[in-house]
Amino acid sequence: MSKERFDIHQHLTDRIVAAIEAGAGQWQMPWHRGSGGRAPVNISSGNAYRGVNVLALWVEAQVNGYGSHLWGTFRQWADKGASVRKGQKASYVVFYKEIEVEPGEGNEDERKSRLFARATPVFNADQVEGLERAPVVAVTELPDVDGFIASTKAAIVHGGHRAYYVPKLDEIHMPPRELFTGSATSSATEAYYSTLLHELTHWTGPAHRCARDLSGRFGTEAYAMEELLAELGAAFLCAELGIAVEPRADHAQYLAHWLKVLKADKRAIFTAASKAGEAVAFLRK
């Protein structure tokens, strides 16, 4: 009997669902715990991972207790003079490769292309030996965040006690900064910024920005999936800007919806992460 083909979409979805369920009692998502909040980086290229791979590696770091944000393949670690310890289990990232497909009958002049997902096993720095590690430098200042937010040119109105985006007015409403409080994992300033970045992700949704419409894919769960997308967008941006992500209490109500959709559709988290990535790219312009 042939070995069943490895389904990277199902694998990553199952890992993410398990991590969400493990923290559901505290209404925290995987990027709120463990080493979540710091962008995972490839040891060979020095580049940060993107999209669903960020979430996948945050989940693996949290589940396995890894403290490092550095990842690489078996060969990439060897090229750095390190070796993966015997018995260590790989985590997986996914890359898409575009492959041209031969035209079929009746459309000989039209070549098509398809995206194929390729799973790549990677290991965390905590799983290797022989690596000289640079000291971890704690972020104490957030010098670029205000400039980044101003560059979006979003209309931000301060007042009241809730944070929300108003599509009809195209405005983000935020409580005054002094109303935000710190926690065990983030400062009051970080709580303010992570909330604002969540709303900025929502702000990218209209047709004249990212033209994001999830209703065709997720139906009645579209609003809950937009909230998951905004969670991911804020988490990606916080990782880039060096901000600890502060969980939002109102997301507790969405956990059941997210789990329902992820369990029913193994590609849902990939769609959410991809759309979040598009939102982040728009905000970076």
H or E segment to which residue 41 belongs = strand 41-42
Q: What is the pLDDT of residue 249?
A: 57
Tens digits of pLDDT across the chain (285 residues): 344 678 888 998 998 888 778 765 554 555 554 444 578 999 999 898 988 898 889 888 888 888 888 999 999 999 999 999 999 999 999 988 777 766 655 555 555 667 778 899 999 999 999 987 654 444 444 458 999 999 999 999 999 999 999 999 999 999 999 998 877 667 888 889 989 999 999 999 999 999 999 999 999 999 999 999 998 898 888 888 878 765 555 666 677 888 899 999 999 999 999 999 999 999 998
Q: For 38-54, what is each residue's pLDDT tens digit?
A: 789 999 998 989 888 98
Domain boundaries, the chain: 1-137, 139-285
Dihedral sign for Cα atoms in the order 55, 240, 217, 118: negative
Q: Which residues contact 90 (CB under 8 A, 6 or more apart)?
A: 121, 122, 123
Helices (H) and strands (E) in the chain, counts: 9, 9
Count of CB atoms within 10 A of residue 130's CB? 12
Contacts of 59 (CB under 8 A, 6+ apart): 15, 16, 19, 30
The number of beta carbons lying within 10 Å of the beta carbon of residue 53 is: 22
According to DSSP, the β-strands at 171-174 and 155-158 are: parallel
As a whole number of angstroms, the distance between CA 56 and CA 246 comes to 19
pTM of the model: 0.81
Locate the DSSP E strands across 80-182: 83-84, 91-101, 112-124, 128-129, 155-158, 164-166, 171-174
